[in-house]
Structure 1
Amino acid sequence: MINELKKLGFTNNEINVYSAILDLGQSSTGPIIKKTGLHRNIVYDVLDTLVKRKLLSESIKSGKKYFKIKNPQILILKAQEQLEASNKLAGYIKNKLKSKAPEVIIYEGKEGWETAYRLLKNRLKAKETVCTLGVGGDKWISAMGDFFITWENFLVKHKIMNKMIAYKWQKKEIEAHQKNPMRKTKYLPEPYSISSNTEIFKDGIFIQIYSDPIILIEIRSKEIAKGYQQHFDVMWKLSKY
């Protein structure tokens, strides 16, 4: 029983007093002090604590206080309260850690690429905006595979705007697929080749690498997404239709 009481948060003195009363039954302070061998002040303090924790009941007979163990069901209720408090605390700590440490997930190949977009599709809400910096063009469409049409229809259905910044040499290539009314594209004059691009959304980013196999790196972090969004907004102002 001692180990169980310790697990419930009882101190050694509380265990001694509680066990003594359990053996004695209803008792005044004198027999409890004698049985525990503890100083009377310690016993008085412990009895007061156990009464406040509703583990003991007290009554007065002939001017003398008597103590007895309350229904042991209270121990179960106390344990349940501790469990609930622990779960809430664990959830709070977990959320705090999440907010500080970004989650990084790496997807490989077309199957992985599609999985990333399916998960994003479940998180995006109607009328949100997805921003693309450094458009992959035909490489991106090839990576999307059969899921390309599903993604396009999803953007239209939920009125999710896709703002893209590409390079001027890509204009003809992009406009060949530019049938989505929810997509706006602006161009920069630099003649760079595309080996990767970045998708920015509310709670994270995709870094998309057109290697063999293709790789998509997802970083889930509102703080990081905010930083990339600020950079995108500056580039958007410098770009032209």
Structure 2
Amino acid sequence: MLEKELKELGFDEKEAMVYIALLELGPSPVAMIAKKTGIKRTGIYYDLENLREKGYISETVENKKKKYIAEEPERIKKIFQQRVERLNQIIPDLTNLATTNLSKPSVRYFVGKEGLKIMFLDSLELPKKSEILAFVSDEPEKFLPEFIKTYRAKRIKKKIIYKGIIKESKRAKELKRHAKKLYFEFKLIPANIFDPKLEINIYGNKIVFASFEYELLGVMIESKIIADTMRQIFNLVWEKY
């Protein structure tokens, strides 16, 4: 269990095993660490050196014999805190690199149910009380019913408004009755005019397209110019109906 947690923090599998073994053993020579972990002695030196370079372990000499010592967990915590501080310092520069060329959109593709889930979850990174504009399709709830329920609950928790243009139907009218508590705003359009098989969401500088007709496919475009233009199109339709 602890090995899994350490792997999520950036340790590889063998590094996690060695670090945990040293916490349990105390100062130990290579032979003892290899026996405890089951890692071949010839390969364990590589893991020990990596851990030492990262500051997670140190070396000492007792009776002319080299031993390795695990740093206290609180020391590891401080190392991670220092990394976060350094990251915070360079985030403005990294952000500038990402936004220097706004005319060049980035495009990402998402395939299958799991891919679409990842794409839709991106909008939950919006700040609280943000807004998603949507040309709404019935398809997501048909193909991803349980996920949509979970997604909606998380969106409501963040008070993110879902402002949608949707075709008239029993489902749409039912949703509209509960719109306030669901953080929905809807405009209903007759089904003979608007019956999309494609879901389109617009938020921040992003537009996502989810297709369910022939294959489960998502496309995310990140571009301020394109997102602003799509907002204008959405607002034109919204005002008309």
TM-score (norm 1): 0.54
Consecutive unaligned residues of structure 1, counting only runs of 5 or more, are 1-87
Q: 2:154 corresponds to which residue?
A: 154
Q: Given the alignment of the two structures, is residue 165 of structure 1 paired with residue 165 of structure 2, yes or no? A: yes
Distance 1:105 1:231 in 2: 22
- Do 2:206 and 2:222's aligned partners in 1 also have CA atoms closer than 8 Å? yes
Cα separation, partners in 2 of 1:119 and 1:189, compared to 1, 3 Å: closer
- Aligned residue among 225, 238, 241 for 2:240: 238
Q: CA deviation at 1:216?
A: 1.2
Where do residues 120-159 of structure 1 align in structure 2 (5 Å cutoff)? 120-121=123-124, 123-133=125-135, 135-137=136-138, 139-159=139-159
Deviations 1:131-150, CA, capped at 9 Å, x for gaps: 112x212x121233422122
Distance 1:127 1:208, change over 3 A: same
Deviation at 1:90, TM superposition (A): 8.3
Aligned mates of 1:102, 1:157 — CA distance in 2: 31
Instruction: Tell me: CA distance 1:94–1:161, structure 2 relative to 1, closer, same or farther (3 Å).
Output: closer
Which of the residues 96, 100, 111 maps onto 1:96?
Answer: 100
| Cα distance, 1:223–1:143 mapped onto 2, change above 3 Å | farther
| Equivalent pair of 1:132/1:199 in contact (CA under 8 Å) | yes
Among all aligned residue pairs of Structure 1 and Structure 2, give the percentage whose two residues are the same amino acid.
Answer: 20
Greater Rg by CA: 1
- CA offset at residue 211 of structure 1? 2.2
Q: Which amino acid aligns with 1:165?
A: I
> Could you say if the C-alpha distance between residues 147 and 95 of structure 1 is closer, same or farther in structure 2, counting changes exceeding 3 Å?
same
Matched, 1:186 2:187: yes
The count of corresponding residues between Structure 1 and Structure 2 is 147
Contact 2:123 2:203 in 1 (8 A): no
Amino acid at match of 1:227: T
Partner of 1:225: 227
Distance 1:189 1:93, change over 3 A: same
The answer as to whether partners of 1:113 and 1:143 remain within 8 angstroms in 2 is: no
Which residue is equivalent to 1:112? 115
Task: Compute the RMSD of aligned alpha carbons.
Answer: 2.4
Would the aligned equivalents of 1:188 and 1:238 in 2 still touch at CA under 8 Å?
A: no
